[in-house]
Chains A and B, each alone.
Chain A
Amino acid sequence: MPTRLSWHAATLSITALIGPLSAEAFELKGDPKVAFIYASAAQDGGWNEAIELGREAVETELGLNVAVAENIPEEATRLRAAIDLYVKRGYNIIVGTTYGYSEAMSEAAKAYPDVAFFNASGVHNSDNMESFYARTYEAWYLAGIAAAETSETDKIGILAGFPVGVVNWDINGFALGAQSAKPDIETFATYTNSWWDPVKEGQVSEALLDQGADVIATDLSAASALKAAEDRGAHAIGYQLDMSDAAPEGIVTSVVFHWDKYLVPRIQSVIDGSWEPSEWGWFEGLDTGVVGLAPFGPDVTEETKAKVEEAKAAIVAGDLNPFAGPLMTSKGDERVAEGDALPEEDLWTMDFFVSGITGTMPASQE
């Protein structure tokens, strides 16, 4: 569930500063035994399932038998009990899947220095622990291009969970991508104030359609938002997994994770003895393929695909930064000057909409 994306936003930049300085390769004792721990069902049709696909790749590509624990709540004692059990049974590579595991996993990493720990959208890093996340805004920028090119009303909508940095950069990336294709396009953004409410996500999708938007993107994971767009003959963009099943006609694309691109080589490096945990946490984007777009839908033209490919190549080459200046907020302030780019640490605390977005941003500090 996307819950885990939430709060690590503000804290990762802090962790970056207090991370350990020693960088020695981690040495694994004994044969590799890997376990994945999920906070809810692995087959949740969203965040967990995307990681679960990565776990399956670890099994097939590395020839390992990977253990799975589901429904381990984000509580220190419950998680620690699960980790203790695995370690006692000889497991020496443990992968957590949510921000809510951060503290307890960090404690466990101190208690078991011979075990390698990973945590998706986590906060802490140390000699034997690494947190990882992806630059999702880069893929959302591409999705924005496809949305703008597909839209006929020149109005597009995106629904999201809570106004935190990792969510806001998706919304802004989406809008900026759209504006790169059509400068005057209007983007509606709405928060559901929930990470998990499929009913409300469908209802918000309807509200965005009522505003005249004809492409609806979801930064959450329920199929209901796409289904609502499909039922009204509009287009839709999914998140986490390829959601074309929910809108076979209207799907434009989905912003998807390919965690195998991180998990397989990273776990292999632990086995090789070459793993050096990133002291800032691992945080990469389109260039590694850990995040990207699912295959395009039937209504996406070849021209659009070419435009998206062009932008993707530019981002991967480092020629295009979605948050390069000049960057104006929806309130008309200049946030980034021409020739500058938004500093990396400001990504995590992003609390504004870029100009061209209509929506309510509650968290603004100004």
Chain B
Amino acid sequence: MSDTFLAWLTVLPGYTLPLLLASLGLMISERAGVLNLCPEGFMAVGAMTGALAVLAGYSPAVAILCGILAGTGLSLLFGLATVVFRADHTLAGLATVALGLGITGVLGRPYVQKPFDGLTRLSETSWGEGLPRLLGQQNLLLPISLILVLAVWYWIFRRPSGLSLRAVGEDPAAADVVGIDVQLTQLGAVLASGALGGLAGAYLSVASAHVWVEGMVAGRGWVAVAIVIFAGWRPRGVLFGAILFGGAEAAMLRLQTQGVEFPLYLGAMLPYALTLLVFCIACARRGRDNGAPAALGRVYLRQDKH
């Protein structure tokens, strides 16, 4: 059984990191009050751009940077729509997802199902050869992601600019009064969500599947949306949620290969049921406060009379 646990732990980052990165970015955006349904779209362009870059001969590391750029580019459109032109966040978000999925379908068509060598694992590097399997199977994105979570936490809760971000999400008018540039803060937060979403997508194609096909994000972006709610918009909750959601999936696939009898469909439903449950509990316990930024999804206009 401990072998099974070790094997599960070894593959856990593969299931967890894409969810973690996408939801971390999403959390930053929503902390600034921009309701963001875009991760599925950001990840789609990130996955395609990353794969295309590798197929074009760039190194996996450069390819991942390309994925980040692509995600950021798409988020810029979303940011312009919501922050600058003050479009409805939900509609703009859904449109961004459709755009991301559509664009990848059109541009990536000639590159479907072309396998490539992706990001190297630590055991494949010159210095990491002797590492135990648990570490050797990982890649550099694991430590980078964990550092990112820590950095985001420190920034949001310990730095003045993080406080500004939260202020904008809680009460943009008040933040405006004390001299915070609401629009710039929100735009920056949206771009961060695009960059991390693109990174998450590039992880899927360049580090995980080593192949690109249309629709390969397969709903992980929506799971990220659920994780942020589950996490109560807190970094440590995001980390815990990503491990829970990713770990449950990894465990279920492993249990199947062992022939363990369990209700497959109920198992697949579990993470989502859990999200609902946590959401309900949070709502019941704290009245209307479930951890969401107070001004989440509200379009801010300076002359607006509330």
Contact = CB atoms under 8 A, between A and B. Distances in A.
Interface of A: 40-41, 43-46, 71, 157, 163, 188-194, 196-204, 206-208, 210-211, 222-224, 226-228, 231, 245-246, 330, 358-360, 362
B210 A210 contact: no
Given A44-B213, A45-B213, A199 B257 contact: no
Interface of B: 7, 11, 14-15, 18, 105, 109-110, 112-115, 204, 208-211, 213-216, 218, 220, 249-250, 253-265, 268
A203 B215 contact: no
A198 B263 CA distance: 23
Nearest to B213: A198
Contact of B109 (A43, A204, A330): A43
B261 A360 contact: yes
B211 A224 contact: yes
B257 A188 contact: yes
The listed residue with most A CB atoms (<10 A of its CB), out of B255, B256, B268, is B256
Contacts of B105: 41, 71
Secondary structure class of chain A's binding surface, majority of residues: mixed
Given A207-B253, A359-B256, A223 B214 contact: no
Contact of A41 (B112, B115, B220, B249): B112
B11 A206 contact: yes
A359 B214 CA distance: 29
A358 B257 contact: yes
Contact of A227 (B14, B211, B220): B211
B267 to A, nearest CB: 9
Contacts of A362: 263-265
A198 B11 contact: no
A198 B209 contact: yes
Contact of B253 (A40, A203, A223, A228): A203
The listed residue with most B CB atoms (<10 A of its CB), out of A188, A198, A206, A208, is A198
B51 to A, nearest CB: 11
Given A199-B208, A200-B218, A193 B264 contact: yes
A359 B213 CA distance: 28
B266 to A, nearest CB: 9
A224 B210 contact: yes
Nearest to A1: B215
Contact of B256 (A190, A196, A227): A190
A359 B209 contact: no
28 contacts: A41-B109, A43-B110, A45-B112, A46-B113, A157-B257, A192-B253, A193-B268, A196-B213, A198-B211, A199-B220, A203-B11, A203-B14, A207-B11, A208-B257, A210-B254, A210-B257, A222-B213, A222-B216, A223-B114, A223-B211, A224-B209, A227-B115, A245-B113, A246-B115, A359-B256, A360-B256, A360-B259, A362-B264
A231 B216 CA distance: 20
A44 B112 contact: yes
Contacts of B15: 203
B208 A191 contact: no
Nearest to B250: A203
